[in-house]
Structure 1
Amino acid sequence: MTTTSEILDAARTSLLGVPKEGLGEERSSRWRGERIVRVGDAWHVGVLLLTDDRVLATAEILRAADPGRRGYTADSARARAARRQLALRGGFGEGDVVHVGWSVLDADAVDAGGSSGPLALIDRVPSVRWSPTGGYVPLSDYLRERIALIADI
């Protein structure tokens, strides 16, 4: 049986040369105020984020931007613009993709027969749930398909 870690390592090798996206965390201080700062980089592969040594589950994805002066028809649009500005204030460049609220997944727990976030061992096959209501698909197939889409293989 191929382990989850082996599948993820193979995916990382396939992604070499593909640009990574920023990982951000919210920070607050008296002097610098609210902001989202860079804490690393990862490849965004569907519902997963792959760093050089970890696998993470995606959460909020935004693009750093200055909201400028705009009228908003919805409070949710205003709040999203404010979040984009927090990333800009935290040091991300204008237009950079930022992943916030991600969580670390445990590949060893999956290989032991458990689950971690969208990852699980289904019939002894490392698998991923690609949406909250979707079913599980084999992790190796999922990664191969997603990497082909982002790497133009």
Structure 2
Amino acid sequence: MDLESVFARARERLAPVPREGLGRLVVPGGLRRALGGQPRIVPDGEAWRVGVLLLADDAVYEVGDVLRAAPERRRGFTAESARQRAQAAAMCIRGGFAEGATVNVDHTRIDLAAVAAGGASGPLDGRGETVTVRWTSGGARMPLETYLRERIDMILGG
């Protein structure tokens, strides 16, 4: 299977759909840290989120954490995880994302060459007759082309 062609067709279909931001964590060090620099999540490209995959112009990634950029607010949290998510959302604002923007962080690049050669990378598996994608945490697999077609149909509303 020619994975580059499969993903090129997917990108063509997704062309009218807005992309989401890719973010990269920056932690100031040295003098900047001493002067009060705070960690931030900065823009690092854009991609379409198609289920468990992020399709950028030049790469395919496995989805990591998805955040909604929001200003920092003082509030009580019932769970430590809620406090951490709020801090991460504020890091997106500090990094330059607009309030309300969807930001994908901790995404992992998929090695398409390894998959095409019959191996596996991230949720993609090229071992067998067809490339499959693991689309649930329980490990359910589906042929990649079917997965992309169905997910893009949902995104396009058809």
Tell me the TM-score range normalised by the shorter chain: over 0.9
Paired residues, number:
152
**For the Cα contact (< 8 Å) 1:5–1:108, is it kept in 2?**
no
CA distance in 2, matches of 1:77, 1:106: 33
Structure 2: tracts of 5 or more residues without a match: none
Counterpart CA distance in 1 for 2:119 and 2:12 is 26
The partner residue of 1:83 within 75, 83, 88 is 88
Could you give the per-residue CA deviations for residues 115-148 of structure 1, whole angstroms, max 9, x where no partner exists? 0100011422111000232222100000011111
**TM-score scaled by structure 1?**
0.94
Equivalent position of 1:68 in the other structure: 73
Instruction: Tell me if structure 2 keeps the 8 A contact 1:119–1:127.
Output: yes
Structure 1: 5+ residue runs without aligned partners? none
1:103 to 103, 108, 112: 108
Q: Distance in 2 between matches of 1:150 and 1:140?
A: 15
SS of the aligned residue for 2:126 comes to strand
**Identity, % of aligned positions:** 46
1:57 to 59, 62, 79: 62
State the Cα RMSD in Å.
1.2
| CA deviation after TM superposition for structure 1 residue 48, in Å | 0.3
- 1:69, CA displacement in angstroms? 2.8
Runs (4 or more) in structure 1 with deviation over 3 Å come to none
Stretch moving more, 37-46 or 70-79: 70-79
